[in-house]
Structure 1
Amino acid sequence: MKPVSAADLDVFLSIAAHLSFSRAAVELGLSPSALSHALRALEERLGVRLFNRTTRSVALTEAGERLYARIRPAFRDIDDALEDLNQFRDTPSGTLRISAGRAAVQLVLLPLASRFLAAYPDVRLEISAEDALVDVVSAGFDAGVRFGERLEADMVSLPIGPYMRSVVVAAPAFFERHPVPQNPHDLHGLPCIRHRFPSGNLYHWEFEREGKRLEIEVDGPLTLGDVALMVEPALHGTGLAYVFEEMVAAHLAEGRLVQVLEDWCPYYPGLHLYYPSRRQVPAAMKAFIEFARSARQEK
């Protein structure tokens, strides 16, 4: 068998982590065709097929799964050893990849990222904004940002934003045509702007007052897949919207939107930065953790 290089195995590991030739190609800085050729050459050297691939999917074969399970820990140890060298640098460096929901990116992560990059110019930050839950380990991310109740038990996490709440709002003109709801059940029959998760499920609006919790399945003419997009149609009177308070604070202050059911909308723990519990945390990640912790304490 011809020798197999670390670069050959890096190609395999990237494809196995993403199960996508296009994403692996971006990560490695190669064209998809060059990546496919490199994998084919590796499989020929090894004499086994590592992936089953069609035009729509990529999956590890049994041999590929066994190889991935054996060499991934070794390459992780190599990454950790290289990261250890960062302690001899004046400042951390390298690329930090973070997965976050779109609202988290807008409300907390981008303002924090701008200040962090100014403080650590040798670090590159890559943020993937998607609302679907992501396995940060298998997808090759260093960390993620989500609400605390949606985190896996084996993750280390810390809060990076203030307490938050969602609020029910509509334009003043909306209430010229519709009654003001006095309790969450009054939302039935009122046009609402609905939110559909990436899973396909519709979000049921959640309320709480004096220990009593309610989930209301609303209806309305418009359904969106991004909470931030609900603000504009709410301003135009399309319906009631249930959005993060920070997204509409200026509109509420200036009277462009009106808040209702305020006593049913309590504050709850905000966003958390989470990352795998590993022996070695990359230097750039350590710096980001400390920066996020300090920024929250300043508020």
Structure 2
Amino acid sequence: MTRPMLNDLHAFVTVATRRSFRRAADDLGAAPSTLSHAMRALEKRLGVRLLNRTTRSVSPTEAGLELLERLRPALTGLDEALDAVQAFRGTISGTVRINAPRLAATLLIRDILPVMSERYPDVVIDLVVEGKLIDIVAAGFDAGVRLFDSIPKDMIAVPFADPVSFICVASPAYLERFGEPQTPDDLKRHRCIGHRVPSGKLHRWEFERAGRAMTLDLNGSVVLDDEELMVDAAINGLGIAYVASPAAEAALRDGRLRRNLPEWTPASDHIGVYYPGHRAVPPALRAFLDVVKTKRAD
């Protein structure tokens, strides 16, 4: 039997993991038809069917699953070996794929990426904005960014940015017209801007004061799935928004928004950059993490 080429094995792992020729092609920078032909050639060379194909999906056969499980650690080890050689080049290069929600991505672009560009010009940051919490390893990401409470326990997390609190904000014009709430219960008589989270559920408003916690389901005539749009809606007088503090900081600073119920602010949480701890850290990711740690210490 002629041994398969390494590129074909890597392509098989990508197709079997992504379970889609189209998504795998996007990852590999190839045409779906090219990948399909390559997989058929690989199956012919090995003399065994590796993939079940339908018009809508691709899934590994029993033989394909066996090959996938054995190839993954082997290819990971090969990638780590090649990454280790970079230290002898004198420069660090490579791509760091990061998954983050929009607000965290905005903070990365503002605080981290300019430093990365200056210090490590040969490192490419491939930043994918996604609100839904995903398995970054299965999806092929090197790192993710989330609130610490949302980070899987088997990941290593590095604090990033100042602690985040969820706060109520409204425009001065809205508060002059409808009054300022004195307690969370007062919000039931106000126009509240709803927040639909990636799961499809509406975000519940949480409050805490002197050990007393409250959770309310509050929504008005506007429901949005993006915190920047929620801030814009509040600035335009559509109601009171409940958002992460960094999303509103600019509008609070210049007076377009005012904060409500500050004494009822729940406990804050850190944003963390997280990555799997069971594998060696590639030089490009290590460089990114070093910048995050340095900025945090400033």
Q: Deviations over 1:253-293 (max 9, x none)?
A: 33221211111114513210111113421011111111110
Q: Deviations over 1:115-150 (max 9, x none)?
A: 112210111110111011111111111111111111
Who is 2:148 aligned against? 148
The Cα RMSD (Å) is 1.8
Q: Tell me if 1:157 matches 2:168.
A: no
Q: Are the counterparts in 1 of residues 227 and 247 from structure 2 also a CA contact under 8 Å? A: no
Deviation at 1:8, TM superposition (A): 0.9
Who is 2:116 aligned against? 116
Q: How does 1:115-194 map to 2 (within 5 A)?
A: 115-194=115-194
Q: Deviations over 1:60-112 (max 9, x none)?
A: 33322221111100111101111110110212111111111111101245531
What is the TM-score with the length of structure 2 in the denominator? 0.93
What is the TM-score with the length of structure 1 in the denominator? 0.93
SS of 1:294's equivalent in the other structure is: helix
Q: Are the counterparts in 1 of residues 208 and 267 from structure 2 also a CA contact under 8 Å? A: no
User: 2 CA distance for matches of 1:103 and 1:50?
Assistant: 41
CA gap 1:228/1:50 in 2 versus in 1, 3 angstroms: farther
Structure 2, unmatched stretches of 5+, are none
CA gap 1:47/1:200 in 2 versus in 1, 3 angstroms: farther
Who is 1:238 aligned against? 238
Structure 1, unmatched stretches of 5+, are none
CA gap 1:284/1:52 in 2 versus in 1, 3 angstroms: same
Q: Are the counterparts in 1 of residues 19 and 58 from structure 2 also a CA contact under 8 Å? A: yes
Who is 2:49 aligned against? 49
Who is 1:96 aligned against? 96
The total of aligned residue pairs comes to: 298
AA aligned opposite 1:166: F
Q: Percent identity?
A: 45
Q: Are the counterparts in 1 of residues 172 and 258 from structure 2 also a CA contact under 8 Å? A: yes
Q: Which moved more, 1:139-148 or 1:266-275?
A: 266-275
Q: Are the counterparts in 2 of residues 209 and 266 from structure 1 also a CA contact under 8 Å? A: yes
Q: Which moved more, 1:28-37 or 1:122-131?
A: 28-37
AA aligned opposite 2:125: L
Q: Are the counterparts in 2 of residues 189 and 219 from structure 1 also a CA contact under 8 Å? A: no
CA gap 1:57/1:189 in 2 versus in 1, 3 angstroms: farther
Q: Are the counterparts in 2 of residues 190 and 219 from structure 1 also a CA contact under 8 Å? A: no
User: 1 CA distance for matches of 2:247 and 2:177?
Assistant: 25
